[in-house]
Structure 1
Amino acid sequence: MEFHHISVMSDEVINGLRINPDGIYVDCTLGGAGHSSRIAKKLSARGILLGIDQDQEAVKAARERLAKYKCNIRIVHDNFKNLATIFKQEGITGIDGVLFDLGVSSPQIDNAERGFSYMHSAVLDMRMDTDAVLTAYDVVNNYSREHLTEIFKTYGEERWAKRIASFIEEKRKEAPIKTTDELVRLVCCAIPAAVRRKSQGHPAKRVFQAIRIEVNNELGILKDAFECAVDYLNPQGRIAIITFHSLEDRIAKTTLRFMARGCVCPPQLPVCICGHKKQIKLCGKAVKPSIEELENNPRARSAKLRIAEKL
């Protein structure tokens, strides 16, 4: 399958990173190398672009797409949760810019075999790294009703989480739930018809999002990865983070704001005892896609871009 993905807010990302032609830049979510291609185009032969992705199909596609550029291209098949280890292995002690483009990519959604989409019939998989052990099948069939309820509430913000989890528990007593369309039917049965008629979007959207986040531990790795990236930024280096739902954005916003603060001691203390130092400055508020971009790429409608600069 051709790995074709439309990069979100590409101009805003490149402008925000303020590319130094001889600098070192890291794309932590390489994907089809849309953003990375724009970065590589601005780098000289002395510049370095490090691309990281846990999806082997994305890595293969990116190698082919980036081969034509003159800068030093390094591509690593790994998860950005291992950022410090990757930098050590690559001999990198400082970087000039880093990008996180979070969420699932279009090729992953559109490839029915990957099991990400509630619009296609496929086995329950949803692994971004196909070498990973945990699958959507394991979550749906092995997690307790209470655990499923918590996941649907926390990661999907699903109002009917408890009822959906109960329907899943009853169904799997008869036989394992193996496919995406089986799960979609269960979710639709669990949500009252009147609610489904009034709601916008597909009834299973939030449940599928929640399971995908759980399978790939998408939220659990974000804070540490953002902090590690900032630690490696050179002075005036920049971090750019694109989020696609409120849970991701809340972590990005909170983490960046904390690193942009100085002392965090209670105001009643006469002297600082926390030792917390301001590391970055925020580069304006979160940016959203333009109307023109949304017309060409409706999937970008929930995206937000946050940028900060190392002091």
Structure 2
Amino acid sequence: MLPEGMIPRSCRGIWFLKPIRIIATFPALGNICSGFSLSDRFCSAAPLRDLRSLALLSILHSMPSSSPSDSTPPLSVHLPVLMREVLRAINPQPGQIIVDGTAGGGGHSREILKRIGETGTLIGLDRDPMMLKLAAQKVQGENVHLVQASYALLPQVLEDLGIAQVDGILLDLGLSSDQLADRRRGFGFAAEGPLDLRFDTTAGEPAWQLLERLNEEELATIFMEFGEERFATQIAARIVETRKRKPILTAQDLTTVVTAEVSSKRSARSDRQPATRVFQALRIAANEELGQLEVFLKSHLQDFLKTGGRGAIISFHSLEDRLVKNAFRDKHRFRLLTPKPVIPAAVEQRANPRSRSAKLRAVERL
């Protein structure tokens, strides 16, 4: 157990005024990517391998709106997708315990908290300390627990809180607008900072190091498997050739390399940025995203939902959605609430173009 007030390395950078309270530490989760074919090859330095000493932080109601030593963090600009549909799927009720496994800017959490009331409990998880800081501006109270941890570590989080099972779990697997606007980590194509792409920059290997370390075949496999990029081989070859002359260190660097290779090969009718799938693939690899989702779907959703409890997951690309769809088909564990994925209505897509690829699937635990 860490002494009260000690900030572990993996949790530095979170904004506090009062001393933080460490809830607990927990042993290594093990290989979070186990069972996923590419994990051992490309995720050897991935974030969740470094969680042996990670402490769960309770970023709670005591957080003030300003600090003498730190400016007030900006408000979240992210628009939560499928809000009405999520609330209908989870159906939060007064007194229930609900987990928002990807708290993000706190948009979904705030509406859930309104419905569970003071007698309920909201647990918000996120690997990104910046997002937890933003979420804390929207959700607060004695019954709110915001924790820097992956949803794949839900068992440890609940154990530290003394909770056996919950009434509902939500995952929104999309990248937030706040992260895209953060020019320090390279999520946006024009970002000038290091091409990092990690949600927690204190753990794992940044994307620019992957581009330096992996050989041409390994890079091509990442782009094909994690990005479904049809020009993966050509892009990987161009990256390897380019890095001999100049390292690829920023989002701008990578965007320039990929665009130069594939612009003439793509359909002129496509409005997608040529580097979109490459960025997606590197982000998935840097954060072990699919490995985490597999762990969650294989055990956590069933083990920690009460009978009759509901789980809802919003995915944004086919790799995630395929895993969710296949897991939710298990008729021995779940009752499917969404025979077809729920997508945003036309009015939401017009108001928030980034919602266009969102798909919501939901189940009830048997």
Q: TM-score, normalised by structure 2?
A: 0.77
Q: 1:281 corresponds to which residue?
A: 335
Q: 1:235 corresponds to which residue?
A: 307
Cα deviation 1:131-159 (Å, max 9, x = unaligned): 12310111111111111000000111111
Cα deviation 1:50-88 (Å, max 9, x = unaligned): 000011011112122112x5x611111111111111111
1:28 to 101, 123, 126: 101
1:202 to 266, 273, 286: 273
Which runs of 4 or more aligned residues in structure 1 lie more than 4 Å from their structure 2 counterparts after TM superposition? none
Q: How far 1:192 sits from its partner (Å)?
A: 5.3
Q: How far 1:248 sits from its partner (Å)?
A: 0.5
Partners of 2:200 and 2:156 lie apart in 1 by 18
**Percent identity of the aligned residues?**
39
Q: How far 1:44 sits from its partner (Å)?
A: 2.6
For residues 10-89 of structure 1, the aligned pairs below 5 Å read: 10-67=83-140, 72-89=143-160
Q: 1:298 corresponds to which residue?
A: 353
Q: How far 1:98 sits from its partner (Å)?
A: 0.3
How many corresponding residue pairs?
Answer: 291
Structure with a larger share of its residues in helix: 1
Cα deviation 1:87-115 (Å, max 9, x = unaligned): 11111101100000002111001112220
In 2, are the aligned partners of 1:8 and 1:300 still within 8 Å (CA)?
A: yes
Residues 1:249 and 2:304 are matched in the alignment: no
For residues 87-98 of structure 1, the aligned pairs below 5 Å read: 87-98=158-169
Q: 1:273 corresponds to which residue?
A: none
Q: CA RMSD in A?
A: 1.4
Deviation larger for 241-250 or 11-20:
11-20
Q: Which amino acid is the alignment partner of residue 98 of structure 2? A: Y
Partners of 1:298 and 1:192 lie apart in 2 by 23
Secondary structure of the structure 1 residue equivalent to 2:285: helix
Q: How far 1:255 sits from its partner (Å)?
A: 1.1
Secondary structure of the structure 2 residue equivalent to 1:114: coil
Q: How far 1:308 sits from its partner (Å)?
A: 0.2
Deviation larger for 148-157 or 177-186:
177-186
Q: How far 1:246 sits from its partner (Å)?
A: 0.6
In 2, are the aligned partners of 1:196 and 1:203 still within 8 Å (CA)?
A: no
Q: Which amino acid is the alignment partner of residue 151 of structure 2? A: F
Partners of 1:157 and 1:5 lie apart in 2 by 26
1:157 to 213, 224, 228: 228
In 2, are the aligned partners of 1:287 and 1:305 still within 8 Å (CA)?
A: yes
Structure 1: give runs of 5+ residues left out of the alignment. 261-277
Q: How far 1:122 sits from its partner (Å)?
A: 2.7
Q: TM-score, normalised by structure 1?
A: 0.90
Partners of 1:182 and 1:45 lie apart in 2 by 49
Structure 2: give runs of 5+ residues left out of the alignment. 1-73
Partners of 1:254 and 1:22 lie apart in 2 by 31
Q: 1:115 corresponds to which residue?
A: 186
Cα deviation 1:206-227 (Å, max 9, x = unaligned): 1111111111111111122123
Q: How far 1:3 sits from its partner (Å)?
A: 2.7
In 1, are the aligned partners of 2:124 and 2:145 still within 8 Å (CA)?
A: yes
Change (3 A) 1:196 1:186: farther
Deviation larger for 191-200 or 201-210:
191-200
Secondary structure of the structure 2 residue equivalent to 1:181: helix
Partners of 1:30 and 1:166 lie apart in 2 by 38
Change (3 A) 1:196 1:286: closer
Q: How far 1:25 sits from its partner (Å)?
A: 0.3
Partners of 2:224 and 2:256 lie apart in 1 by 19
Partners of 2:274 and 2:137 lie apart in 1 by 38
Change (3 A) 1:54 1:153: same
Q: 1:266 corresponds to which residue?
A: none
Q: 2:6 corresponds to which residue?
A: none
Secondary structure of the structure 2 residue equivalent to 1:173: helix
In 2, are the aligned partners of 1:26 and 1:97 still within 8 Å (CA)?
A: yes
In 2, are the aligned partners of 1:83 and 1:229 still within 8 Å (CA)?
A: no
Deviation larger for 35-44 or 168-177:
168-177
